[in-house]
Structure 1
Amino acid sequence: MKYEKLSKLYYKLDSSYKDEVEKRKCGYGSYLTSLKILGFKKGNVTDDLFELFYVNTHDLMMLHSEVLLNSAKVSSLISQLPPFVVDSYFKKLIVNEAQSSNEIEGVRSTKKELKEALSELEKASPKNKRFVGLMKTYSYIDRIKPFDNVEDFRKLYDELVSDEIESDDTLDGELFRKGYVEINNGNVTTHIGLSSEEKIVEALGSLVHYLSDISHPELYRYMVAHYYYEYIHPFYDGNGRTGRLIVGSYLSRYLEKYSAITFSYAVNKDKSKYYKSLEEIAFPLNRGDMTFYLISVLELLSDGQAGVIEDLELSLIKLERIEAYFKKDIWKDHNNESIMLNLMVSLSVFFKEGATLSLQDLMEISNKSRHIVNKAMDYLVDEGYVEVIRKKPKTYRLCDECLETILGS
């Protein structure tokens, strides 16, 4: 029998609808979560109370395997990158992810702002703190510790988004909000968060317990937890950004950080699918069945991974051309010069076309002395490969046609 949404079967099965619900909740492939939600219909919370559950259907199992295989492929492709571009490539993904997360929440930002915030992390006292917390948290996504108590959610909020919250949305509870909050798509109310801080704390406690429940497969568990966090909605603002980062932190340990960091980017490409999957769970006739939600979010995750894989494969083809270019006879007597130019070209491919590097950057990446780097860069400037764009500190950029010439050779 085809696995269909209970809300559809209600009209098909009539009297046997309740039997189908029980069969799903008690079957061999069923998982009960112990997490409870109230029903939601036509903009209002109902009196129905449901335990969230899911069934490990064929489609869900296939997606689970697909995500794991994609993750292995991402790791394999990353291992083929030159060590000096790995960090830069991850930074590119961070900027894409943060921008997508902000766009989903209607927070105005540009990639330029986010890149500047990323560079501010290296300074002891950042001049502009906007988005610095966001970029810091994304940068260390694989080092975020598991959430062992309710206070951990507030700590993440303080580190990640508290500086970006409008004064009207300032928290008024001991740890979380005390008042009413709803999600509105512009036409109708699609969700109403839990009604008091006491209920928020109780529900987050249940979420912490569920996150450590090893009887549930990890990938499913983390996505269930993501939904339940959004259902609780512990803050007036910032729930989406913190929620996606929480699931990303768990995915980064289970898969790897490159797959984990693409989740918001993938969601942003198909927001309607994501929000629809969230909203359908609480519809009373679906009885808390999360199976279709899990299918949707794993499809989004897999799509995000596919984008990273495609990008890496294309970049590695470019890398082969770069390596072939520097094997030409013209570089036989210019080893240091070819190393410096290779660094700049590779970073333009894997991070950002037109990327700039200071003399100090080149010394650190190449592990060569100031004298050697200076001499090599003077040669590259004289030959028209790079240009000096700043004298203090001395900073270089590839000349406009250089990258195109090398990749097309």
Structure 2
Amino acid sequence: MINKPLSILKYMSSRDSMIDVDKEYKKRIDSPSAALTNLFPLLSSRSESQHNDLPIFFIETFKMAQLNSKIFKNSADILKLSNSLPDIAKNNYISSLLSNEINSSNEIEQVKTNRHDISTIVDSLQSNIIPKQPRLVSTVKKYLGILNEPRITISELKDYRKIYDELTSGEIPQNKLPDGELFRNSSVTIGTSDNSKIVHRPPISENTIKSKLTSLISFMNNDEFPIVEKAIVTHFMFENTHPFYDGNGRMGRYLLTQYLIKKIDTFTALSISKSIQDHEKLYYQSFADADKYENYAELTYFIESMMQIIIYGQETALDKMTELQSMLNSYGQIINAHFANNGVISDVLFIFVQSKLFSIDTPLGIKDTELINMLYRDDSKKYKKNNVKKIINNLENEGFLKLVNGNPIQHEVIMDKIDDLT
């Protein structure tokens, strides 16, 4: 019966007196393969009464072990593939994933954003330019930060609030800002996307929220639990507690992304929100099932579902990177064959191709000055700055490049022109 949630066994027990759900629960939680936590989520029963007397636990099933193995195998494949890419291709792809991650996380919360606008902000901040529009700047800054900063350590309650403020600054309506010392201090309900049904009632008072998040801090800093399972349990407990009126989902996914970047890899982490968005039904159904008191705070099936969502995201990233790498190799061969007598022209054009392919329909292409300086640092004799500038102008005149920005100057390759060389 280990392959069935306890809520299903409870339903079956109404027809089969031989099924003892309480006995099965004790058997599971006392199992040598069970992981017991100090976290007590607020769960709702079918009668809509609420309880927080059961600790979260999960069973390390064979399926979970398989999924865990698949996650780390995919991660190794992703890193191997990404390390074979040129720097421009790799960095542009990461920036594109980051833009997509922020956009998907916002859209899951029905927060209207534009992927192109987010990419523009990413591009501006990476170039040390103040973005023209203030909206989403704080969110983008926070995500850019996790690509370089050490792992975030949450050691006290105010750390949650600090992250929340930095992540959502200017994004939360005034009437939905926290009204307690650190968190909300009144009731809130979580409904379906169309608000036709209430699916969860989180803790009401700030004192209760503080108590549950204090336990979560202890759990997060406990290295005895497996990496992926700990990340997923933390995600569930944070969302179950729902410490703010607005922005909980965005912060919860940000924390999950940040953790996976440090513990798995950047590409896996920056694929999570898009994968959740693509498998929203599975995501929300898993939460709804885990929130049932009849499941006795068992997160085995929630963890397995979330692991599968992580894998879906990894496979999408792998497929896309493989496709782009194949295209890049093909274009590289065409360029080298056509410009065999001038390696500098070949190198310049190939960089523009990398930038175009791996920016994935965003304005995240390389700027002329960045390209010129990069080549000059690589070999100042071979890539003289004035000569590279002249080459860029000639490639524009010949129809291989087009000017897409005047300040700073930025060109973009015309792929059809290269296709015509074959």
Q: Is 1:210 aligned to residue 219 of structure 2?
A: yes
Which residue of structure 2 aligns with residue 160 of structure 1? 167
Cα–Cα, structure 1 residues 45 and 123, in superposed 2: closer, same or farther, change >3 Å? farther
Q: Deviations over 1:128-166 (max 9, x none)?
A: 221112112222324341222211111111111131001
Q: 1:224 aligns with which of 233, 238, 246?
A: 233
Distance 1:152 1:258 in 2: 26
- Residue type of the partner of 1:128? Q
1:96 aligned residue: 100
Kindly indicate whether residue 294 of structure 2 is the aligned counterpart of residue 294 of structure 1. no
Contact 2:116–2:362 (Cα < 8 Å) also in 1 = no
Instruction: Give the secondary structure class of the aligned counterpart of 1:163.
Output: coil
Alpha-carbon shift at residue 43 of structure 1 (Å): 8.6
Q: Quote the Cα distance in structure 2 between the aligned partners of 1:261 and 1:267.
A: 11
SS in structure 1 of the partner of residue 40 of structure 2: strand
Q: Please tell me the residue identity of whatever aligns with 2:24.
A: E
Letter in 2 for 1:299: Q
Q: Which residue of 1 aligns with 2:393?
A: 378
Which residue in the other structure is 2:201 paired with? 192
Partner of 2:139: 134
- Counterpart mapping for 1:59-74 below 5 A: 59-74=63-78
Structure 1 stretch displaced more, 73-82 or 138-147: 138-147
The 1:271/1:383 distance shift into structure 2, 3 A limit, reads same
1:346 aligned onto 2:361:
no
In structure 1, the partner of 2:375 is 366
SS of match in other structure, 1:190: strand
- Give the secondary structure class of the aligned counterpart of 1:388: strand
Cα separation, 2, equivalents of 1:110 and 1:44? 38
Residue type at the aligned position of 1:20: E
Deviation (angstroms), 1:349: 0.9
8 Å Cα contact 1:337-1:379 kept in structure 2: no
Offset of residue 391 of structure 1: 4.7
Distance 2:171 2:160 in 1: 17
Counterpart in 2 of 1:27? 31
The TM-score normalised by the length of structure 1 is 0.94
Deviation per residue, 1:226-268 (Å, 9 max, x gap): 0000011011000000001111111111111110111111000
Alignment of 1:27-46 (within 5 A): 27-41=31-45, 44-46=48-50
1:392 is displaced (CA, Å) by: 5.0
Range with bigger deviation, 245-254 or 349-358: 349-358
Per-residue CA deviation, residues 68-127 of structure 1 (Å, 9 max, x unaligned), is 111111100100100122211101101111111011001001111101221231336444
Equivalent residue number for residue 182 of structure 1: 189
- Displacement of 1:291 in angstroms is 0.4
1:253 to 258, 262, 268: 262
Conservation of the 8 A alpha-carbon contact between 1:43 and 1:190: no
* Equivalent AA in structure 2 for residue 388 of structure 1: L
Write the distance in 2 (CA, Å) between the matches of 1:112 and 1:246. 24
What are the superposed Cα offsets for residues 19-70 of structure 1, whole Å, 9 maximum, x if unpaired? 1100100001101111012321359442462111100111111101110111
Sort the Cα spacing of 1:335 and 1:46 in 2 relative to 1 into closer, same or farther, 3 A. Answer: same
CA contact (8 A) 2:404 2:411 kept: yes
Task: Answer yes or no: is the 8 Å Cα contact 1:141–1:257 preserved in 2.
Answer: no
User: 8 Å contact 2:29–2:57 — kept in the other structure?
Assistant: yes
1:211 partner amino acid: M
Instruction: Report the Cα distance in structure 2 between the residues aligned to 1:43 and 1:321, rounded to whole angstroms.
Output: 62
CA distance in 1, matches of 2:396, 2:226: 56
CA gap 1:3/1:259 in 2 versus in 1, 3 angstroms = same
| CA displacement at 1:334 relative to structure 2 | 2.1
| 2:117 equivalent in structure 1 | 113
Please report the TM-score for the alignment, with normalisation by the length of structure 2: 0.91
What one-letter code is carried by the residue in structure 2 that aligns with 1:243? G
In structure 2, the residue matched to 1:4 is: 4
Q: Distance in 1 between matches of 2:47 and 2:320?
A: 41
Contact persistence 2:356–2:412 (CA under 8 A):
no
Q: Which amino acid aligns with 2:53?
A: L
Runs of at least 5 residues in structure 1 that lack an aligned partner in the other structure: none
Q: Which residue in the other structure is 1:335 paired with?
A: 343
Distance in 2, matches of 1:131 and 1:314, equals 31
Secondary structure of the residue aligned to 2:29 is helix
Q: Residue 369 of structure 1: CA displacement?
A: 4.3
Cα distance in structure 2, aligned partners of 1:217 and 1:357: 40
**Shift in CA distance, 331/2, structure 1 to aligned 2, threshold 3 Å:** same
Aligned residue for 1:34, secondary structure, equals coil
Conserved in 1, the CA contact under 8 Å of 2:372 and 2:389? no
2:320 to 302, 311, 316: 311
Cα contact 2:336–2:346 (8 A) shared by 1: no
2-structure distance, mates of 1:195, 1:386: 59
Equivalent-residue separation in structure 2 for 1:261 and 1:50 (angstroms): 33
Q: Which residue of the partner structure matches residue 388 of structure 1?
A: 403
Q: Is the CA contact 2:355–2:366 (under 8 Å) kept in the aligned structure 1? A: no
Q: Which amino acid aligns with 1:119?
A: D
Per-residue deviation, 1:354: 7.9
Partner of 2:380: none
d(CA) in 2 for partners of 1:32 and 1:289? Answer: 9
Match of 1:117, SS? helix
Q: How many residues were matched structurally?
A: 406
**Aligned equivalents of 1:26, 1:64: Cα separation in 2:** 23
